[in-house]
């Protein structure tokens, strides 16, 4: 598969995870557990790690969260980002308590002095900061710039803060400007990659919706940008369990052949009247079992032999079904035929030999 070119940004580290500078694109999610529930949060982090999450974000909402946040950072196998709104003092404390990165929206942190105090705290802790601008919470002075569209206003906001961070000698920053409108998101990030090309970009379509709708909107928004070489990390935001966000994220990367070198892919045909088996059920089962396969293998589930092996010739392993049977094939060559109820086991037996 063709490899896409990537825009070159500065490399920085979130814990041990490289971000930017052409590093493999790490995918992230945000915990849904209470930050005060240390055990539950760590369990969710482990579940996220198992499905391929590389960075987790945790909301720190009040002083009462800080001690448990420190315990989560200490016990987490993944680098933990402190997500802070409104109170700059929480960001300063989170930096001291083990955050691997801070995420702030400078527009709601208050005065520039407060932003400066966060920059200094991050500098002292040696951790990066994400300047995370959201379309819904632009600062007043930018919101009222009437001659500009929303995308341009967001770029103006990010630009201002990026320049300010730089003027204080702080360069370990990641930039994001999320909108819920996909076209605005694409426009903003295209502009950011030109106006501030040095710094890694965190992509995302915010309030994207449920797994079904949010996956489509994220695939279009984030996928378009990644296909253009823009973006160094991303979060697929879904109204769903965070593990779903990571499954979708990894599928997105695998689709573009970007970094997800341990993700298996299902190829399956849309079925038509030639199909004489329960291919939909079969494809769903295979997809579920493939989620645990950590290798970039392609498995094809095809409804008939007319087009099956030929159309899925790039698959490492596949099945082309007949009347209650399945011809197991590898790279387009049929190996043997099994009855319908043995197809999935046969596929995974063959797959096992490739792991
Ligand atoms: S592979 Fe066969 S069953 Fe599937 S869509 Fe093509 S012709 Fe129809």
Q: Which domains, and CATH codes, for the chain?
A: 12-255 (3.20.20.20), 265-354 (3.30.413.10)
How much is the pLDDT for 165? 95
Provide the b/e sequence for 62-79 (b: ≥16 CB within 10 Å): eeebbebbbbbbeebebb
Quick one: DSSP state of residue 117? H
pLDDT value at residue 342: 95
Handedness of CA 36, 31, 25, 297 (dihedral sign): positive
Q: Report the separation in Å between the CA atom of 318 and the middle of ligand 1, taken as the mean of its atom positions.
A: 14
Answer whether 269 contacts ligand 1 (Cβ < 6 A): yes
Parallel/antiparallel/unpaired status of strands 80-84 and 101-104: parallel
CA distance 236 to 252: 9
DSSP-assigned beta bridge partners for residue 300: 267, 318
Closest CA to 106 of 121, 119, 123: 119
- Calpha distance 234→90 (Å, rounded): 24
CB–CB of 235/201 below 8 Å?
no
Which tokens sit at 134? 């959201």
Within 10 A of 122 (CB to CB), how many other CB atoms are there? 24
What is the predicted pLDDT for the residue at 145?
82
Count of all residues that appear for the chain in the document: 355
SS3 of residue 148 by DSSP: coil
Q: Say if ligand 1 is within 6 A of residue 306 CB.
A: yes
Question: Residue 52: which region, alpha, beta or left (left: phi > 0; alpha: psi -120 to 50)?
Answer: left
Q: What is the pLDDT of residue 180?
A: 87
Pick the residue whose CA is nearest to atom 5 on ligand 1: 271
pLDDT at 279: 94
- For 27, phi then psi, to 5°, come to -105, 150
- Cα(285) to centroid(ligand 1), Å: 19
Q: What is the DSSP string of 34-63?
A: -TT-HHHHHHHHHHHHHTT--EEEEE--SG
Q: Does residue 300 line the site of ligand 1, with CB under 6 A?
A: no
Q: Are 112 and 81 in contact (CB under 8 A)?
A: no
| Contact in structure between 315 and 273 (CB atoms under 8 Å) | no
Per-residue pLDDT of the chain (355 residues; tens, 9 = 90+): 666 778 889 999 999 999 999 999 999 999 999 999 999 999 999 999 998 999 999 999 999 999 999 999 999 999 999 999 999 999 999 999 999 999 999 888 888 999 999 999 999 999 999 999 988 778 888 888 878 899 999 999 999 999 999 999 999 999 999 888 999 999 999 999 999 999 999 999 988 889 999 999 999 999 999 999 999 999 999 999 999 999 999 989 988 988 656 788 899 999 999 999 999 999 999 999 988 888 888 999 999 887 766 777 788 999 999 999 999 999 888 999 999 999 999 999 999 999 8
Q: Ligand 1 within 6 A of 242 CB?
A: no
User: Cα(198)–Cα(311) distance, rounded to whole angstroms?
Assistant: 42
**3-class secondary-structure state, position 309:** helix
Q: Which pLDDT belongs to residue 261?
A: 65
Bridge-partner residues for 142, per DSSP? none
Distance 212 CA to ligand 1 centre (A): 25
Distance CA 208, CA 120 (A): 34
Which atom of ligand 1 sits closest to the CA of residue 269?
A: 4
Q: Which helix H or strand E contains 288, and what residues bound it?
A: helix 279-290
């Amino acid at each position: 598969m063709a490899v896409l070119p990537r825009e070159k940004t500065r490399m920085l580290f979130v814990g041990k995870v490289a971000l930017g500078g052409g590093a493999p694109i790490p995918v992230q999610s945000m915990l849904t557990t209470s930050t005060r529930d240390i055990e539950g949060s760590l369990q969710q982090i482990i579940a996220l790690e198992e499905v391929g999450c590389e960075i987790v974000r945790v909301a720190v909402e009040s002083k009462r969260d800080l001690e448990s946040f420190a315990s989560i950072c200490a016990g987490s196998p993944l680098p933990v980002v402190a997500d802070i709104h409104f109170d700059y003092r929480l960001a300063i404390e989170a930096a001291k308590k083990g955050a691997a990165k801070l995420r702030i929206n400078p527009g709601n942190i208050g005065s520039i002095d407060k932003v400066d105090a966060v920059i200094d705290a991050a500098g002292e802790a040696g951790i990066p900061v994400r300047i995370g601008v959201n379309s819904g919470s632009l600062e007043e002075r930018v919101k009222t710039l009437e001659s500009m569209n929303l995308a341009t206003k967001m770029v103006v906001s990010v630009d201002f803060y990026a320049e300010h961070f730089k003027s204080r000698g702080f360069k370990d920053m990641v930039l994001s400007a999320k909108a819920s409108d996909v076209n605005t998101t694409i426009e903003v990030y295209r502009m950011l990659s030109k106006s501030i090309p040095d710094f890694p970009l965190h992509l995302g379509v915010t309030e994207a919706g449920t797994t079904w709708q949010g996956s489509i909107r994220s695939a279009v928004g984030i996928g378009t940008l990644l296909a253009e070489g823009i973006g160094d990390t991303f979060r697929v935001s879904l109204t769903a369990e965070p593990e779903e966000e990571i499954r979708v994220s990894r599928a997105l990367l695998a689709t573009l052949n970007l970094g997800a070198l341990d993700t298996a892919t299902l190829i399956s045909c849309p079925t038509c009247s030639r199909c004489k088996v329960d291919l939909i059920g079969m494809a769903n089962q295979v997809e579920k079992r493939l989620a645990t396969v950590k290798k970039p293998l392609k498995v094809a589930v095809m409804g008939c032999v007319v087009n099956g092996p030929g159309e899925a010739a790039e698959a490492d392993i596949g099945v082309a079904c007949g009347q209650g049977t399945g011809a197991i094939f590898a790279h387009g060559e049929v190996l043997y035929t099994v009855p319908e109820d043995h197809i999935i086991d046969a596929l995974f037996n063959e797959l096992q030999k490739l792991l």
